């Protein structure tokens, strides 16, 4: 097995035994990235010199007896999180030349834990999209079939992990932007409870919905990374002071007596038969290990798309107002007055999807439509939250498809935004309710594209997700062995 193929758990064990050095591990990942990223295009920035220097420092620290949970572990960061002194572009022309003045809290925590930053990964511009085709720079490709999208908006992070360019990565999830690309790329992706992980240093899209989370090739590495990035942050007023447990302790607990909630609203017409079959097989296998399946209802699911695209666009309209050409980022040259500066800057530097969402958000927040749209959406959002609360009175974990279909071809939906939005139907309710959810690989379809299952738990119950996923992982390990085509 090549060093780049190792999981974080495996590699850390080899480092401890002296069978591998941090520099060797990092160099193997960089060599892999050089070999395949010309086709996958997961990275916006690959910091080879910085990564190797950090790896050598980690080797020296290990020899000196230093102890840190991720000492020497290479990681990729979605390019909407700040790393001091490096560009944060959000894959937008607006921030193409912006250099971050500080570390995001998650980056600072990773730095303290000894992680090595390989580089920044591509995303849909300002995290607005479901295919990474909305990047201002280039489209990332699915490592399982380069004609297909990797999902979005964290498509670069998911593709880099699936293509073995990095053992794990950070993404952000506003309406499914970790879980949907994890599903399309056949890896694990966790959206934590809102408030579990600090958002300080994450460029805001929808502030009541955004959450940072891990992507990895196994659930053990998800737990390791979540341990490091979780916790209260005084710089983020929305971060929770509920103590984070050691999530690795949930591994291997088994699922005997666990009640699996099966929401009837998530198995409707329009869901790909192979997607349905993969989820039902996962349920059956978990039940064979002692879990119990019970039907639950999330009756307001049909309104989730409408509610989400009102709430997130309203928040995006407010958050993106700061990009005006007067403070930082792109500034239109030759403007004769402030109005022309604002107009030309935003027209030149924002892409089509970002403009669409700003206009939608501005519309629903306008005086004549605020009550009819935004206020009503907030009320229905409360109903969606109560749906989950009632469902969790009957079950411990909800099991659903993460997406209605496997990955689709690049270009297939880019000119049909409504069809693109409908692909988020099974992920957005989780963000609206603030609950945690984990996407897990569940084999492949007849075309060789990954299939997945989504696990949802009550707020601050990520341990339950990891507990269930670790059993699922063992049951499906043989079905997830397939050679990449790159």
- DSSP class per residue in 261-277: EEEGGGS-TTS-HHHHH
Query: Averaged over 215-233, what is the pLDDT?
Result: 98
Q: What is the pLDDT of residue 309?
A: 97
Q: Which residues pair with 171 in a beta bridge?
A: 213
Catalytic-labelled residue, pool 54, 78, 160, 239: 78
335 in catalytic set: no
Q: Coil, helix or strand for 169?
A: strand
Length of the chain as a residue count: 486
pLDDT of residue 269 exceeding 90: no
Instruction: Decide if 78 is catalytic.
Output: yes
pLDDT digits over 129-163, tens only?
999 999 999 999 999 999 999 999 999 999 999 99
User: What is the pLDDT at residue 327?
Assistant: 87
Overall average pLDDT of the 202-210 stretch: 98
Q: What is the mean pLDDT of residues 17-34?
A: 98
Average pLDDT over residues 238-267: 97
| Structure token pair of residue 404 | 């209605």
Q: Report the pLDDT averaged over residues 376-391.
A: 98
pTM exceeds cut of 0.75 = yes
Where does the pLDDT of residue 476 fall: very low under 50, low under 70, confident under 90, or very high at 90 and above? confident
CB-count exposure of residue 457 (10 Å: 0-12, 13-18, 19+): buried
pLDDT band at 484 (very low <50, low <70, confident <90, very high): confident
- 479 pLDDT exceeds 80? no
Mean pLDDT of the chain: 96
In this prediction, residues 221-240 reach a mean pLDDT of 98
DSSP codes joined into one string, 45-65: EE-HHHHHHHHHHHHHHHHTT
* Residue tagged active-site, from 130, 135, 157, 177: 177
The arithmetic mean of pLDDT across residues 400-414, rounded, is 97
Percentage of the chain with pLDDT > 90?
94
Which pLDDT band holds residue 1 (cuts at 50, 70, 90)? confident
Q: How far apart are CA 364 and CA 311, in angstroms?
A: 9
**pLDDT tens digits, residue range 279-308?**
999 999 999 999 999 999 999 999 999 999
The span from the CA of 294 to the CA of 375, in Å, is: 34
Provide the CATH topology of domain 3-261+393-480: Amidase signature (AS) enzymes (3.90.1300)
Whether 268 shows a pLDDT value over 70: the answer reads yes
pLDDT in tens, 46-95: 999 999 999 999 999 999 999 999 999 999 999 999 999 999 999 999 99
Q: By the 8 A CB rule, do 172 and 154 touch? A: yes
Q: Give percent above pLDDT 70 in the chain.
A: 99
Q: Which two tokens stand for residue 253?
A: 């607990």
Q: Which of 167, 169, 227, 161 is nearest to 197 (CA)?
A: 227
Dihedral angle over CA of 146, 472, 280, 182, nearest 10 = -30
**Sheet harboring 450-456: ordered strands across?**
43-46, 116-121, 74-78, 168-172, 212-216, 188-191, 437-444, 450-456, 397-400, 259-263, 292-296
Q: Which pLDDT does position 480 carry in this prediction?
A: 63
Query: Which residue among the candidates 91, 130, 153, 230 is catalytic per the annotation?
Result: 153
Cβ proximity of 435 and 195 under 8 Å: no
Pair 244, 231: CB distance under 8 Å: yes
Mean pLDDT of 2-26: 97
**461 catalytic per annotation:** no
């Amino acid at each position: 097995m090549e060093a780049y193929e190792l999981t974080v758990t495996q590699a850390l064990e080899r480092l401890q035994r002296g069978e591998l050095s941090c520099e060797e591990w990092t160099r193997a990942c960089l060599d892999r990235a050089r070999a395949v990223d010309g086709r996958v295009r997961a990275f916006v920035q690959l910091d080879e010199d910085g990564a190797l220097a950090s790896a050598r420092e980690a080797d020296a620290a290990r020899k000196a007896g230093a102890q840190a949970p991720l000492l020497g572990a290479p990681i990729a960061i979605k390019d909407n999180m700040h790393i001091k002194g490096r560009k944060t572009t959000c894959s937008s022309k607006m921030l193409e030349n912006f250099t971050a003045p500080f570390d995001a809290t998650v980056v600072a925590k990773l730095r303290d834990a000894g992680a090595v930053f390989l580089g920044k990964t591509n995303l849909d511009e300002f995290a607005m999209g479901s295919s990474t085709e909305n990047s201002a720079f280039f489209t990332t490709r699915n490592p399982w079939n380069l004609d297909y999208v990797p999902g979005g908006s964290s498509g670069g992070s998911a593709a880099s992990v699936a293509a073995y360019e990095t053992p794990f990565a950070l993404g952000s999830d506003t309406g499914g932007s970790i879980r949907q690309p994890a599903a399309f790329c056949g890896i694990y992706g966790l959206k934590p409870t809102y408030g579990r992980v600090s958002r300080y240093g994450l460029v805001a899209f929808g502030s009541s919905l955004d959450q940072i989370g891990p992507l990895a090739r196994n659930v053990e590495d998800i737990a390791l990374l979540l341990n490091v990035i979780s916790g209260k942050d005084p710089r983020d007023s929305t971060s929770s002071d509920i103590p984070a447990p050691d999530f690795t302790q949930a591994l291997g607990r088994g699922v005997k007596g666990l009640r699996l909630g099966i929401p009837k609203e998530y198995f409707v017409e329009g869901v790909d038969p192979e997607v349905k079959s993969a989820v039902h097989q996962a349920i059956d296998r978990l039940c064979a290990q002692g879990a119990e399946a019970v039907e639950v209802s999330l009756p307001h699911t049909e309104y989730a798309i409408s509610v989400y695209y009102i709430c997130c666009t309203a928040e995006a309209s407010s958050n993106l107002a700061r990009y005006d050409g007067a403070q930082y980022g792109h500034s239109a040259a030759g403007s004769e007055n402030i109005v022309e500066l604002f107009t030309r800057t935003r027209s030149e530097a924002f892409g089509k999807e970002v403009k669409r969402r700003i206009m939608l958000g501005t519309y629903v927040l306008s005086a004549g439509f605020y009550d009819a749209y935004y206020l009503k959406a907030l009320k229905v959002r409360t109903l969606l939250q109560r749906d989950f609360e009632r469902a969790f009175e009957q079950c411990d974990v909800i099991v659903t498809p993460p997406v209605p279909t496997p990955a689709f071809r690049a270009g297939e939906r880019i000119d049909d935004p409504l069809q693109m939005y409908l692909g988020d139907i099974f992920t957005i309710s989780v963000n609206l309710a603030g609950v945690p959810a984990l996407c897990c690989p569940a084999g492949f379809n007849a075309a060789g594209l990954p299939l997945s299952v989504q696990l949802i738990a009550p707020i601050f119950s990520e341990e339950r997700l990891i507990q269930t996923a670790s059993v699922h992982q063992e049951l499906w390990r043989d079905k997830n062995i397939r050679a990449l085509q790159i």
